[in-house]
């Protein structure tokens, strides 16, 4: 079931609606932050979206300061908006547990670059959102905090690894949250919960300070929000270079939020490639139907839809092994003294995968990545953007497993990322928009992928789709409302 968000329900509002209400003094920052803490307390027993909370009085003090800035006419871009921070990145004064007992008391001494920029834009950190142990899977559960649940169906996962963020956004807990994506960890949760998620071009949001770089430069930070405009506003606040990240990109000349309606204003017509399976994925039939129907929205808007036969090589087993190898390398300083603190299943899986990552497999991965890059480069010479499903089937159970049976065929855990992983390897932007609902009443995501640096175009296409098929008014009804 869904319902329109009530005008007097600020926790279901978009960022733009909240900022308008704050500007008009229909709502104060103190009232908003206080309501978020009440909402967290109400939803934690069911959603379990948060891990650690910031002291409420400190957050309210920040809210009072934001109200004072607003009264002086000095409001910043996100002034007074409560923010959830994924528990894989630092927020000063809060533990960065990485979803692991091994780091339960690892209190951050400073903010990540992304969090610092969001605070500088006026956002108020209220707490950390849940993630699987070290973000290593697409089901958000861990031995320290347990499983996070999907607001659309509490028996299902909100995805991972940014599952706490997606549950908090879809569940009407916070209006903005940070997320990250190394193989689909923004887009998969966005699809599972019907939110909007953007994996920006690699380097668009600077990572750091002091963060060890991903071995193959596939992991990025990005917004996971209720609307496309919300994501654009958040990206405007966080993008741009930083001396701590040599891969960080310059900020665009024009803000992302200011150019969202550019396709309509300029009368530009795009060529959208459409692939139902990338040539290899097995897709649940009702998911495939929903995405194909959603893609036709662009045709009705006057754009061309170009069927794409085949696809890139599958990312392959080598990438999974490389991920395990990298995770194992991160654990190296801690294992001698903290081995027993790591989840057994997590550690066994990582060590088993790392042992299998041979020189030959590393070479095979490099060859396959080059082939994927070349396929994407050739594709985006023919079309402007590519449309695919975001994930091939309904969100898995809240406690797993990720393995599934689709159309009578067994699917290994990695197949949930069949559509998302190639665009981490291409380094280009990719977003997930809500295409509709499956037969089970669960959100279906459509991925919009583009060439490197085409973040603005991906956002513009997503905005055009959202204008025709607005999903924002419709969110899951709590069981207590039935």
Catalytic residue list:
86, 161, 185
Which run of H or of E encompasses 480?
A: none
Separation of alpha carbons 422 and 183, rounded Å:
8
Mention every residue, 6+ apart, whose C-beta is less than 8 A from residue 168.
Answer: 47, 49, 50, 84, 129, 174, 177
List b or e across 68-98, with b for residues whose CB sees 16 or more CB atoms inside 10 angstroms: ebbeeeebbbbbbbbbbbbbbbbbeebbbbb
- Do residues 376 and 451 touch, judged by C-beta distance below 8 A? yes
Torsion of CA 136, 138, 139, 141, to 10 degrees: 30
Rg of the chain in Å (alpha carbons): 21
Mention every residue, 6+ apart, whose C-beta is less than 8 A from residue 291.
Answer: 276, 387, 388, 389, 435, 444, 446
Beta-bridged to residue 221, according to DSSP, are: 180
Q: Reduced to 3 states, what is the DSSP secondary structure of residue 365?
A: helix
Separation of alpha carbons 91 and 76, rounded Å:
20
Backbone angles phi, psi at 289, to 5 degrees: -65, -45
Mention every residue, 6+ apart, whose C-beta is less than 8 A from residue 193.
Answer: 150, 151, 152, 158, 159, 166, 167, 169, 170, 395, 443
DSSP annotation of 367 reads H
List b or e across 226-246, with b for residues whose CB sees 16 or more CB atoms inside 10 angstroms: bbbbbbbbbbbbbbbebeebe
- Do residues 220 and 180 touch, judged by C-beta distance below 8 A? yes
Mention every residue, 6+ apart, whose C-beta is less than 8 A from residue 151.
Answer: 47, 158, 167, 170, 171, 172, 193, 475, 476, 478
Closest CA to 417 of 200, 182, 225, 213: 182
Q: Reduced to 3 states, what is the DSSP secondary structure of residue 122?
A: coil
| CA 142-146-147 angle, 5° bins | 95
Separation of alpha carbons 429 and 127, rounded Å:
28
Closest CA to 466 of 228, 186, 195, 194: 228
- The two tokens of residue 398 are 């809240």
């Amino acid at each position: 079931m869904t319902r329109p968000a009530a005008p007097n329900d600020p926790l279901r509002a978009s960022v733009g609606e909240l900022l308008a209400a704050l500007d008009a003094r229909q709502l104060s920052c103190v009232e908003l932050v206080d309501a978020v803490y009440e909402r967290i307390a109400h939803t934690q027993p069911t959603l379990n979206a948060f891990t650690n909370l910031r002291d409420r009085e400190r957050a309210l003090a920040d809210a009072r300061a934001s109200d004072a800035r607003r009264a002086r006419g000095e409001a910043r871009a996100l002034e007074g908006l409560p923010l959830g921070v994924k528990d894989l990145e630092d927020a000063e004064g809060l533990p960065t547990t990485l979803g692991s007992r091994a780091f339960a008391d690892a209190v951050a001494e400073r903010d990540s670059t992304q969090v610092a920029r969001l605070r500088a834009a006026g956002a108020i950190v209220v707490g950390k959102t849940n993630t699987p142990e070290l973000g290593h899977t697409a089901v958000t559960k861990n031995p320290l905090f347990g499983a996070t649940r999907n607001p659309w169906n509490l028996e299902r996962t909100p995805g991972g690894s940014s599952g706490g963020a997606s549950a908090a956004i879809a569940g009407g807990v916070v209006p903005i949250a940070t997320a990250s994506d190394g193989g689909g960890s923004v887009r998969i949760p966005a699809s599972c919960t019907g939110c909007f998620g953007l994996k920006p071009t690699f380097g668009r949001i600077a990572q750091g300070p002091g963060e060890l770089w991903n071995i193959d430069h596939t992991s990025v930070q990005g917004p996971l929000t209720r609307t496309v405009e919300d994501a654009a506003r958040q990206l405007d606040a966080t993008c741009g270079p930083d001396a701590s990240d040599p891969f960080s990109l310059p900020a665009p000349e024009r803000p992302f939020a200011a150019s969202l309606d550019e396709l309509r204003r300029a009368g530009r017509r795009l060529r959208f490639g459409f692939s139902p399976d990338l040539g290899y994925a097995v897709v649940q039939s009702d998911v495939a139907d929903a995405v194909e129907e959603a893609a036709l929205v662009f045709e009705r808007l006057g754009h061309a839809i170009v069927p794409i036969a085949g696809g890139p090589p599958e990312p392959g087993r080598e990438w999974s092994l490389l991920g395990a190898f990298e995770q194992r390398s991160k654990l190296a300083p801690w294992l001698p003294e903290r081995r027993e603190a790591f989840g057994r299943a997590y550690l066994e899986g990582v060590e088993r995968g790392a042992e299998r990552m041979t020189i030959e497999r590393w070479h095979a991965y490099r060859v396959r990545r080059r082939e994927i890059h070349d396929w994407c480069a050739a594709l985006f010479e023919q079309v402007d953007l590519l449309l695919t499903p975001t994930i091939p089937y309904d969100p898995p159970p809240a406690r797993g497993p990720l393995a599934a049976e689709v159309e009578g065929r067994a699917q290994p855990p990695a197949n949930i990322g069949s559509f998302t992983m190639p665009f981490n390897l291409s380094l280009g932007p990719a977003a997930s928009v809500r295409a509709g609902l499956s037969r089970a009443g669960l959100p279906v995501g459509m991925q919009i992928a583009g060439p490197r640096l085409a973040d603005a175009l991906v956002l513009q296409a997503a905005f055009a789709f959202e204008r025709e098929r607005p999903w924002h008014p419709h969110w899951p009804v709590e069981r207590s409302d039935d």
